[in-house]
Amino acid sequence: MSESPARDSATAEHLSLLANDGAHARVYLDGAQVASWTPAGSTDDRLFVSRHARYGAGQSIRGGIPICFPQFGATGALQQHGFARNSVWRVVRETTDADGARAVLELTDTAYTRAMWPFAFHAELSVHVAGAALTVELTVSNTDSQPFAFTAALHPYFRVRDAYATHVEGLGGTRYRDALQGGEVFRETRDPVPVQGAVDRVYFDTPDVLALVEPHRTLRIEKRGFPDAVLWNPGREGTASRADFVAGDEYDMVCLEAGAVGRPVMLAPGARWTGTQIMTAVASAAGPPAPR
Ligand code: TA6
């Protein structure tokens, strides 16, 4: 992997997707990371990116939608969240038509990836924006002669007005592993689940439609192919201990992720797997928020 030249959000190589209806997304080639999404008819970016985020090859931008592959978290032998977010992806195509704007990027094995994970693979990320929705789809193909297993997640940082006034709908009754309680597994008794401070949980086998609800607006989050969901907020200590966060960022973001974490995906030679996350801005019944 090459060392990262100093870059910023403007100079790091990226694609700007603009649908005919005005919906917009920005995708960086570093990590194939979506780092901005504005639904049609809105000026509000629904993705959070820290002012201290780093840009450039080898960096994962603190915010947007990092891709965790071929390992979620620190649960295996690889670096935290795998290498996809630290790799430079190639643009396959970029199109705009009546259905919206789409970019497709790809990543294949290199000497860098094989040194950590000795398999040939092809990963493709499709990003589509139109109307109120952003759709991100990760497809992994096994191009090796032996089977492999991986875990993965799409790790969106959603921008919110006050993280600790949000809640998540749809998780009630599911089991979760709580990283803040020594990795113990519990069953969720609440629905909705309020975000009330630092939280770091993998919810297993959840329903495919969840919602991140703020007092003034809602994001509908649908996943396909990803059985699990991850809920993360770093809390005060989490932002203070990471140089690419600014103190106070914990109020501005909630991660509600689509993951294949609990059971690794097994792929035979020639086989393919796809996981999708569809994020839709839902109009608020309560009207525009009062200024903070
Ligand atoms: O998805 C939640 C999580 O795995 C947390 O445990 C937390 O570490 C977060 O991801 C961010 O990880 P990072 O390596 O980007 O600091």
pLDDT at 277 over 50: yes
Residue nearest atom 6 in ligand 1 by C-alpha distance: 200
Mean pLDDT in residue range 179-191: 98
Burial of 148 (0-12, 13-18, 19+ CB in 10 A): buried
pLDDT value at 243 more than 90: yes
The catalytically annotated residue of 14, 81, 128, 155 is 155
* C-alpha 73 to ligand 1 mean position (Å): 6
Residue 106 annotated among the catalytic residues of the structure: no
Mean pLDDT across the stretch 152-169? 98
CA of 38 to the centre of ligand 1 (A): 24
CA of 58 to the centre of ligand 1 (A): 17
Is residue 257 among the annotated active site residues?
A: yes
Q: Tell me, which fold does domain 14-283 have in CATH?
A: Beta-galactosidase; Chain A, domain 5 (2.70.98)
Q: Give pLDDT tens digits for 7-39.
A: 889 899 999 999 999 999 999 999 999 999 999
Q: Give pLDDT tens digits for 31-58.
A: 999 999 999 999 999 999 999 999 988 8
Percent of the chain at pLDDT > 90 equals 91
Cα separation, 148 vs 103, whole angstroms: 27
Nearest-atom number in ligand 1 for the CA of 74 is 4
What residues does each domain of the chain span?
A: 14-283
Nearest alpha carbon, ligand 1 atom 2: 232
Cα 92 from chain centre: 20
Residues with CB under 6 Å of ligand 1 are: 73, 80-81, 155, 179, 200, 230, 232, 242, 255, 257
